[in-house]
Amino acid sequence: MSGLPFRRPIVPAPQDALLLIDVQNDFAPGGSLPVPDGDAIVPLLNRIARGFATVILTQDWHPPRHLSFAAAHPGGAPFASVELPYGRQVLWPDHCVQGTHGAALIAALDVPHAALVLRKGCRRTVDSYSAFAEADGTPTGLAGYLRERGVARVFVAGLATDFCVRASAVDAAGAGFATAVIADACRGIDADGSLAAAWTAMTAAGVARLIAADLHPAA
Ligand code: VGL
Ligand code: ZN
């Protein structure tokens, strides 16, 4: 299921979409939830994006005191977790607060032809790692958007491999899209083995693992 739709070299076609996840200042070095080397992928993302007619950007976009923030829980510590009505929630430093510099796209990201910027995690009481559905299962509408536009294959890259890239890729595959993650165009947080677990989960979901050089023309 994962191999066939992605025979190399991969030439992006009109039915392909590129989903660039959370390329935001707070996930870059100097941000409030820095992903190691998070900004290093930006030049590669810019090159990859040039090969795709359909590019979607996402932004993690939380209101102040979002329930994924450790500070919203008495005694809550970053990287601990709590039980919420929709399940376990990792607690994070405050990050990607709506309208702040930290929530803005990294300035060096240069994808002027991106037609859709999708913001997620906008409700205070529900997180959304996935671009497709919030943690309580509420759809964002992205699957419908892609289907209406005739998209068949979804390529995913961005931040962070083990959280929002993982959840978005698994949900893309679950929604019926042939899905690939471009591994060298992502960076992970790797809290407690989460990076290895993410690749195991994505592979189990039928997500293909590519590198940018698999795309033609090479990015
Ligand atoms: C993310 C943790 C919290 C991500 C977002 O973009 O991977 N991770 N919010
Ligand atoms: Zn978040």
What residue owns the CA closest to ligand 1's atom 2? 163
pLDDT of residue 5: 85
pLDDT digits (tens, 9 = 90+) for 16-63: 999 999 999 999 999 999 999 999 999 999 999 999 999 999 999 999
Q: How far is the CA of 163 from the centre of ligand 1 (A)?
A: 6
Pocket test for ligand 1, best of 19, 129, 186 (most atoms within 8 A of CB): 129
Q: Confidence band (pLDDT; 50, 70, 90) for 100?
A: very high
Query: Is-catalytic flag, 162?
Result: no
- Mean predicted confidence (pLDDT) in 5-13: 90
Closest to 23 (Cα-Cα) out of 48, 6, 53, 3: 48
Tell me the ligand closest to 164's alpha carbon.
Answer: 1
What type of residue sits at position 103?
A
Token pair listed for 52: 């795709």
pLDDT score of 42: 98
* CA-based R_g, the chain, Å: 16
- Respond yes or no: is residue 22 known to be catalytic: yes
Place of tokens 């677990």: 197
Residue identifier of the C-alpha nearest atom 6 of ligand 1: 164
Q: Report how far residue 213's alpha carbon sits from residue 219's, in angstroms, rounded to the nearest whole number.
A: 6
Per-residue pLDDT, 192:
87
Nearest ligand to the CA atom of 156:
1
pLDDT in tens, 102-115: 999 999 999 999 99
Residue 44 dihedral angles phi and psi, to the nearest 5°: -65, -45
Contact 141, 130 (CB under 8 A): no
pLDDT at 97: 99
Backbone angles phi and psi of 51, in degrees to 5: -85, -5
At 2, is the pLDDT very low, low, confident or very high (cuts 50, 70, 90)? Answer: very low
| Position 3 pLDDT exceeds 90 | no
Label residue 139 by pLDDT band (50, 70, 90): very high
- Structure confidence at residue 187 as a pLDDT band (50, 70, 90): very high
Rounded-to-10 torsion of CA 186, 191, 193, 197: -50
What is the average pLDDT value for the chain, to the nearest integer?
Answer: 96
Q: Mark whether 120 is an active-site residue.
A: yes
The CATH class, in words, for 16-62+96-214 is: alpha beta
Confidence of residue 217 (pLDDT cuts 50, 70, 90): confident
pTM value is 0.97
